[in-house]
Amino acid sequence: MKQLENQIAVVTGAGRGIGRAIALKFASEGADVVCVSRTAENSEKVAAEVRALGRKAWALAVDVSDAAAVSAAAEKILADCGKVDILVNNAGVTRDGLLMRMSDADWDAVLNTNLKGAFLFTKAFTRGFVKQRSGRIINVASIIGLIGNAGQANYAASKAGLIGFTQSVAKELGSRNITVNALAPGFIDTDMTAALSAEMRTELLKKIPLNSLGQPEDIANAALFLAGPGARYVTGQVLTVDGGMVM
């Protein structure tokens, strides 16, 4: 039997990169997947890939920072799927810049998507998790939330906040058999890192003991562990997947 057989997973930011990899990994292990992305085109594209693996999939275009939109999406998901077993809060954006030049709009955009979005989706499904006395919540943070990074004060604050959020919600929901954990990816080979110059990439690799960028599948494998039966007794933790960069 596959690890996630007959389970329903909701993955935000599923349209590409890490979110797409998680959606497909979960589907390969038997889960039906709700693919949430900002655009209908991206969410439907990944949903089609899930269906090609023989699983059910739903595609939703949602601005995760919009409370009304998230509430409506959650209602639709529960009506269409009947339940949710796994929630992956992966949606994230960057608006990099030095603090002294950072606009209020760039600060708000990152905090609202990366942190408020996780709050809204978690809140939307918590009642269902509590009622069924089971659930897995996985928040995709970042090593930047652990160590900071020049030019990313907004991103670091959002990811550090997500780690604190993870630990607090884990304490609130633990008695109901609901686990809440965070993943802290290092530098992963996605659209976000594709913009790095060759020189920047070379300098970055010097700081990574495994001497390579990670792949989205590396994060998907870690997410599968946290969602699967082997992590039954793991909650409130931050699993760093970074090639040894932070130790």
Single-letter amino acid, residue 193: T
What HEC string does 28-67 produce? Answer: HCCCEEEEEECCHHHHHHHHHHHHHCCCCEEEEECCCCCH
Which of the residues 121, 155, 165, 187 is marked catalytic? 155
- Nearest CA to 36 out of 51, 67, 57 is that of 57
State both tokens at 152. Answer: 């990313």
Alpha-carbon gap, residue 212 to 117, rounded angstroms: 30
The H-or-E segment that residue 3 falls in is none
Hey, how many other C-beta atoms are within 10 angstroms of the C-beta on 209?
11
Q: Examine the residue annotation and report whether 233 is marked as an active-site residue of this protein.
A: no
Bridge partners of 148, per DSSP, are: none
Residues labelled catalytic: 155
